[in-house]
Structure 1
Amino acid sequence: MSTLALTPIAFEAVAAALRASRGMAAKADIGIAAARLGLSGADAVAVGDDCAAIPDGDGFLLLAIEGFMNGFVAGDPWFAGWCGVMVNLSDIAAMGGRPVAVVDAVWAAGEAEAAPVLDGLRAASERFGVPIVGGHTNLDTDRGQLSVAVLGRASRLLTSFDARPGETLIATIDLRGRYREPFSNWEAALEAPAARLRGDLELLPLIAEAGLSRAAKDISQGGLVGTAAMLAECSGVGIEIDLSRVPAPEGVDPARWLMSFPSYGYLLSAAANDVPAILSLFEGRGIAASAIGAVTADRRVTVTNGAAREPIWDFAQRALLGCGPVTATAEDAA
């Protein structure tokens, strides 16, 4: 397995790029919307996770939605449709769940413009074995847009709210792919057999049900470090990441890789004695997995490279999603 190799000068440049990441800034937009809606991680159905986990009998219904950048839909419409299904299924898996169905909302300037988006949706639905059961279509708009929602179920959750200081941070990423230019999307699923795709997603609910981990998060457009920051905030912890241990393709630009969206990539937090079993499950399916850092109590996200350390986000200075745990004040206690 290849990992990132950084010189001291390159490490400083990568850390600066991470702090200025557009992906991190975009995640902060979530906090603006959540505040306006009056939502937080303290709600009965906690907000800030990959899916809303709604108690249902002896398990949970999982509900999530993804919207796609207009430039992506215009520049690569078939792949945007494919990703509409793929990324939603990844969110369900990140919560320890299994998908039930998806619905889509497609806007386009005519049938011809909508066709590749719909074809990509259909191809992914068939390959992953998850049905599209409806949605919304508007073929009389001035630009193409796409949003896709998913419903799933879980018997035992992995969440963004349950990482604990002292646990190990694991990264698992399918490196069997390539960049789909010009976006920083790592494409590792299009040529994979259906059985492999479905079996790879099944690992996450199996880990949850075996009690090997309680906390996980899908590596999103915020990249690996941005995703770690969201996990840290929701759990009320800090995270320290050793960049030299991050699984990576040979010869990749480190800054680009750390801000990329992988087709299949997750962060998990686990007790040290459960780490070997988790790594073995992923490696047994040919998926790169490594212990890349630690969950801490200092409420910061920090990256390291040998003895060098660089802060990326300090939650004492500013929130990211605004969905972290609520700390009781003296006035509340009274």
Structure 2
Amino acid sequence: MELKEIVSSLLANPLVQDKLLIERAYVHSGSSAFVDPAHLMLRETDTKFEIRNGDDCAAIPNGDGTYTLFAAEGLIQNFVRNSPWFAGYSSIMVNISDICSMGGLPVAITNVLWSKDKEASEEIWKGMVRASADYDVPIVGGHTCYGNDLNLAVSIIGKAKKLLTSFDAKAGDNLLMAIDLDGAYFENYPFWNASTTSSPKKLQRNMRFMHEIAEAELSCAAKDISMGGIVGTLGMLLRTSEKGAIVDLDQIPIPENIDLLKWLISFPSYGYLLTANETDTVTIIEKFKSGGITCAVIGEINESRKIALKKNNETEILN
């Protein structure tokens, strides 16, 4: 496809549009919330802690320089209805990715499951239990509601010392993409599954990479690639960081024989965008490589507040 066709197709995709127009989500919630230290049983300060909206998790200060990370994900109803086992598995996996994207390590998971009866929810539970075991993150509670349909939402807590945020991308930094290419598309969904076919040892080892990058201060801004794919996720990162970027489509890691346009809107089981300076970029790429994860520089952060896509030396503005 020509670059103009790619841009037009991306802009017409509702998942990408939803992320590029993420500003709508802040109309009712605001851009931040404040937590009283007394609610956290911290009494040494009267200053309320600001929790910025826009990260993959809420980063709640513990008062000792560490953070409790808190996130939740709801699953698309048709996905739960049509693929209950994989939806259950994915509900655990995507929440873990949110924790990892901020430099954290997952601690525990809870869930809310709506079901017609026990039989209808059995496959969902099997998928959740399998993922919990594969990633070694326990399910510690939840709530089951009986109704007329299947629905699933999962929440997670994690811990972090140093954060990778959505607010700290810097102009001049490299934009990196890290992804596990050793997978395949799940049925007809734009979901690249490199998880259920991986060993628990690999999943648990690679789950720590973003934490180690944060601890070593190799990067300060990151986001997991989610619904809306690479472009939609980048749009959210740039919105909160108040920056722009140019992305070289020819440099994006992509499996063999996979359509580029589909890849740009795909949701991988293991995929992150990060920013880093030139020196730290080399270290980050080598770290991911040690776990069989492909990582490459795909662009550069700038001050434009726009996303520009480049291909074959042609450039088009996306938004």
TM-score, normalised relative to structure 1? 0.88
The two structures, once aligned, show a CA RMSD in angstroms of 1.3
2:3 matches 1:11? yes
Structure 1 residue 34, shift from structure 2 partner: 3.0
2:169 maps to 163
Mapped partners of 1:28, 1:101: distance in 2? 31
Alignment length (residue pairs): 303
3-state SS in 2 of match to 1:143: coil
Mapped partners of 2:246, 2:167: distance in 1? 17
3-state SS in 2 of match to 1:182: coil
Equivalent residues of 2:95, 2:155 under 8 A apart: yes
2:156 maps to 150
Equivalent residues of 1:93, 1:202 under 8 A apart: yes
Structure 1 residue 118, shift from structure 2 partner: 1.0
1:72 maps to 79
2:188 matches 1:196? no
1:187 to 193, 211, 216: 193
Mapped partners of 1:10, 1:252: distance in 2? 16
Equivalent residues of 2:22, 2:236 under 8 A apart: no
1:40 maps to 31
Mapped partners of 2:21, 2:137: distance in 1? 30
Mapped partners of 2:225, 2:123: distance in 1? 26
2:131 maps to 124
Equivalent residues of 1:41, 1:234 under 8 A apart: no
Equivalent residues of 2:243, 2:304 under 8 A apart: yes
Structure 1 residue 41, shift from structure 2 partner: 4.9
2:247 matches 1:247? no
Mapped partners of 2:194, 2:18: distance in 1? 24
Compared CA separation, residues 280 and 31, structure 1 to 2 (3 A): same
1:93 to 97, 100, 122: 100
Equivalent residues of 1:169, 1:292 under 8 A apart: yes
Mapped partners of 1:150, 1:138: distance in 2? 19
2:19 to 19, 24, 27: 27
3-state SS in 1 of match to 2:141: strand
* Identical columns (%): 40
Compared CA separation, residues 118 and 29, structure 1 to 2 (3 A): farther
1:133 maps to 140
2:40 maps to none
2:67 to 60, 71, 78: 60
Structure 1 residue 17, shift from structure 2 partner: 1.4
1:49 maps to 55
Mapped partners of 2:103, 2:80: distance in 1? 29
3-state SS in 1 of match to 2:151: strand
3-state SS in 1 of match to 2:156: strand
Compared CA separation, residues 253 and 279, structure 1 to 2 (3 A): same
1:308 maps to 314
Structure 1 residue 109, shift from structure 2 partner: 1.4
Mapped partners of 1:105, 1:29: distance in 2? 28
